[in-house]
Amino acid sequence: MSDPTATGPAVPPLDADVIVVGGGPVGATTALKLARGGMRVIVLEQREATGLEERATTFHPPTLEMLDDLGLAEPLIERGVRADSYQFRDAKLGKIVDLRFDILSGDTRFPFRLQCEQSVMTRMAIAALDEEPLAEYHPNSRVGTIRRIDGHVEVDVQSGPRRGTIRAAHLVGADGMRSTVREQLGIGFHGHTYPERFLVISTQVPLQEELPDIAYVNYIADPVDWHVLMRNPSGWRILFPAPPSWGSDEDVLAPDNVLRQFRRVLPDRDADAIDWVTLYEVHRKVADRLRDGSTYLVGDAAHVNNPMGGMGMNSGVHDGYLLAEILLRGHAGEEVDADLDRWAERRRAVALDFVGKETEGNWSALRDDDEQRRAAQRAAWEALGADDEARHEFLLTSSMLSSLRG
Ligand SMILES: Cc1cc2nc3c(=O)[nH]c(=O)nc-3n(C[C@H](O)[C@H](O)[C@H](O)COP(=O)(O)OP(=O)(O)OC[C@H]3O[C@@H](n4cnc5c(N)ncnc54)[C@H](O)[C@@H]3O)c2cc1C
C-alpha cells in the first residue's frame, strides 16, 4: 500500500535480492547457494551456453564439501575420475613421490582430488538453478552499465529477455577475468602476465598403460621439458609451457609443432591420437578490493593465477559460497557489514598469499634450472613420502583445506 504522505517519485521495486553477473562455475554456484538459502537471485550470462573449452579439471576436497551442500558433489563424483594420489616426477629420473590423500580422511569427507571438466559442474549448477523458484538464469544477457542508486544496484542488460534496467539490493561480479563489473566500479587489477603460454593437448590414448607407474595427476619437473599429465573422464590432458622462443600463437598451434610436443610424451603416436589442442595466456593478478558497498567480486573477476595446483576455480567457488553465507545471514536480519569487509580482506589475502604463492611455488619448483636446488627439491619431495606428519601438513595446503582455516 502506498504512503499518502510520501512525496517525490516512487522508488521502483527491486527485481531481486541479488544480481549475479556471469554464469560460469563461480556465478552459478554462488547463485544456487543464495537461492537455496531464501534470496531472490537473477543470473545474467552473456553466452548462449556454457563453453566446453578445456579449463579447470580439478576439484579439491573443500570445494567438494561446498558442492555437497548444494547437492552437486555426488553427481559430479559419478561423472568424474577420483585421483587418490598425485605425483611429483622428474622428466629423466621418473617417479619421485606418490602423495596419497587418504591421510586427509580425518580432515574431510572427500580425501581425494576429483578430476572432471568444469563445464560439467557448471551445467549441473545451472540445471539446479532452473529448478529453484527463487532463481532466474538468463543466457544471452550481457551486462553493460552498472549504477548505485539509493542503496541499491542497477544494471543495464544489453540483450536477452531481461533486456533493460534491473535492480537488486546486492550485485555479485562473477564475470571472469575481463570483468565488466570490476571495470565499471573502477577497481584496479594488478599483477603480471607470464611470458610463457600453456599448450594443452588432450588425448584418449590410455597413458596409464603406456607409463604404468603414473598417478591420475602428475607434475613432471625439468628445466626445459617440464609438463603436467592429468586424467579426465574423457581421456588425458598434457600441459606444456610454450616459451616466447616458440613464436606466435599460430606457430605454437601449427600441427607439426603440436605433434612434436605430443611425441615428447608419446613418441610412437601420430596426429590422429590428438583430440583437442588449446593455448592459454597465464596471468597472476588480483583486484585492489573485492567489495564496494553492496557490490562484490568473486572468482576470476577478483583474482587469476597460473593453473599449477588447480586452484583458480576452486578458490572462486570458495569466494562465492562464503560470501553467500554472509549475505544470507544479512537477509535473515543480522548485522553483517563488518563480516562482509572481513570476507573481502580475507579472500583477497587468500588470493595473494595462498593461491598466488602456492601456484607460483609449484611452477618454480617444476622448471628450476639450478641443479643444486633441483636436487634439494627432489630430496624434499622424497621426504614427504617418508614422513606422515609432513605429508599431512603438505596435503592440507595443496588440497586447499588450510586456505579456509583461521
Ligand atoms: C588451462 C587452464 C587450466 C585450469 N585448470 C584449473 C584447475 O584444474 N582447477 C582450478 O580450480 N582452476 C583451473 N583453471 C582456472 C579456472 O578455469 C577459472 O578460475 C574459472 O573458470 C573461473 O570461473 P569464473 O566463474 O570466475 O569465471 P569464468 O569461467 O570466466 O566465467 C565468467 C562468466 O561470465 C560471463 N560474462 C563475462 N562478462 C559478462 C557480462 N558483461 N555480462 C554477462 N556475462 C558476462 C562469461 O561469459 C562467463 O561465462 C584453469 C584455467 C586454465 C586456463
Q: Which three three-digit cell numbers place residue 163?
A: 533486456
**Position 40 in a domain:** yes
* Rounded Cα–Cα distance for residues 69 and 114 (Å): 16
**Which atom of ligand 1 is closest in space to residue 304's alpha carbon?**
19
**Position 44 in a domain:** yes
- Return the closest-CA partner of residue 110 out of 57, 62, 56: 62
- Mean predicted confidence (pLDDT) in 59-76: 98
**Position 165 in a domain:** yes
* Rounded Cα–Cα distance for residues 392 and 297 (Å): 32
* Rounded Cα–Cα distance for residues 77 and 318 (Å): 18
**Position 402 in a domain:** no
One-character DSSP codes across 110-159: --SEEE--HHHHHHHHHHHHHT-TTEEEESS--EEEEEEETTEEEEEE-S
**Position 393 in a domain:** no
Atom 29 (ligand 1): residue with closest C-alpha?
24
Question: What is the pLDDT at residue 10?
Answer: 64
pLDDT over 90 for what percent of the chain?
87
* Rounded Cα–Cα distance for residues 91 and 23 (Å): 39
**pLDDT of 136 over the 80 cut:** yes
**pLDDT of 345 over the 60 cut:** yes
Among 117, 136, 137, 175, the mutation site with the greatest number of ligand 1 atoms within 8 A of its Cβ is 175
Share in percent of the chain as helix, strand, coil (round to 5) = 40, 30, 30
* Rounded Cα–Cα distance for residues 350 and 62 (Å): 14
Cα of 123 to ligand 1 centre, how many Å?
13
**pLDDT (tens digit, 9 = 90+) per residue, 225-271?**
899 999 999 999 999 999 999 999 999 999 999 999 999 999 999 99
**pLDDT of 201 over the 50 cut:** yes
Q: Are 360 and 306 in contact (CB under 8 A)?
A: yes
Pocket of ligand 1 (CB under 6 A): 21-27, 44-47, 55-58, 118, 142-143, 174-176, 180, 198, 200, 280, 299-300, 307, 310-314, 316
Residue 311: CATH number of its domain: 3.50.50.60
* Rounded Cα–Cα distance for residues 390 and 384 (Å): 6
Instruction: State the pLDDT confidence band at 404, using cuts at 50, 70 and 90.
Output: very high
Atom 21 (ligand 1): residue with closest C-alpha?
313
Atom 13 (ligand 1): residue with closest C-alpha?
56
**Which atom of ligand 1 is closest in space to residue 63's alpha carbon?**
11
Instruction: State the pLDDT confidence band at 275, using cuts at 50, 70 and 90.
Output: very high
SS3 342: helix
What letter represents residue 7's amino acid? Answer: T
**pLDDT of 53 over the 90 cut:** no
The model's pTM is 0.95
Classify strands 303-304 and 274-287 as parallel, antiparallel or unpaired. Answer: antiparallel
**pLDDT (tens digit, 9 = 90+) per residue, 78-104?**
999 999 999 999 999 999 999 999 999
**pLDDT of 9 over the 90 cut:** no
Cα of 203 to ligand 1 centre, how many Å?
23
**pLDDT of 121 over the 50 cut:** yes
- Return the closest-CA partner of residue 172 out of 337, 338, 64, 321: 321
Question: What is the pLDDT at residue 5?
Answer: 45
**pLDDT of 216 over the 70 cut:** yes
**pLDDT (tens digit, 9 = 90+) per residue, 361-378?**
888 899 999 999 999 999
On average, the pLDDT of the chain sits at 94
SS3 20: strand
Cα of 24 to ligand 1 centre, how many Å?
6
**Which atom of ligand 1 is closest in space to residue 316's alpha carbon?**
26
Instruction: Give the domain extent around 32.
Output: 16-83+112-191+284-364
- What b/e string do you get for 306-331 counting C-beta neighbours within 10 Å, with b at 16 or more? bbbbbbbbbbbbbbbbbbbbbbbebb
Q: Are 1 and 292 in contact (CB under 8 A)?
A: no
**pLDDT of 4 over the 50 cut:** no
* Rounded Cα–Cα distance for residues 280 and 385 (Å): 33
- Mean predicted confidence (pLDDT) in 260-284: 95
**pLDDT of 7 over the 60 cut:** no
Q: Which three three-digit cell numbers place residue 210?
A: 603406456
Among 30, 42, 46, 232, the mutation site with the greatest number of ligand 1 atoms within 8 A of its Cβ is 46
Question: What is the pLDDT at residue 244?
Answer: 95
Q: Which three three-digit cell numbers place residue 53?
A: 573449452
Question: What is the pLDDT at residue 8?
Answer: 55
**pLDDT of 1 over the 60 cut:** no
**Position 354 in a domain:** yes
Q: Which three three-digit cell numbers place residue 381?
A: 619431495
**pLDDT of 2 over the 80 cut:** no
Instruction: Give the total number of structural domains in the chain.
Output: 1
Side-chain half-sphere of 73: how many Cα atoms within 13 Å?
Answer: 18
Cα of 313 to ligand 1 centre, how many Å?
7
**pLDDT (tens digit, 9 = 90+) per residue, 29-51?**
999 999 999 999 999 999 998 76
Give CA angle at 378 (387, 101), nearest 5°.
45
Structure-model confidence comparison of residues 9 and 95, the more confident one: 95
- Mean predicted confidence (pLDDT) in 291-302: 97
Diameter of the chain measured on Cα atoms: 84
Cα of 25 to ligand 1 centre, how many Å?
7
* Rounded Cα–Cα distance for residues 76 and 80 (Å): 6
223 DSSP assignment: T
Question: What is the pLDDT at residue 358?
Answer: 87
Cα of 207 to ligand 1 centre, how many Å?
28
Cα of 385 to ligand 1 centre, how many Å?
34
**Position 338 in a domain:** yes
Question: What is the pLDDT at residue 75?
Answer: 98
- Mean predicted confidence (pLDDT) in 153-168: 94
Instruction: State the pLDDT confidence band at 356, using cuts at 50, 70 and 90.
Output: confident
- Return the closest-CA partner of residue 308 out of 380, 241, 396: 241
**Position 90 in a domain:** no
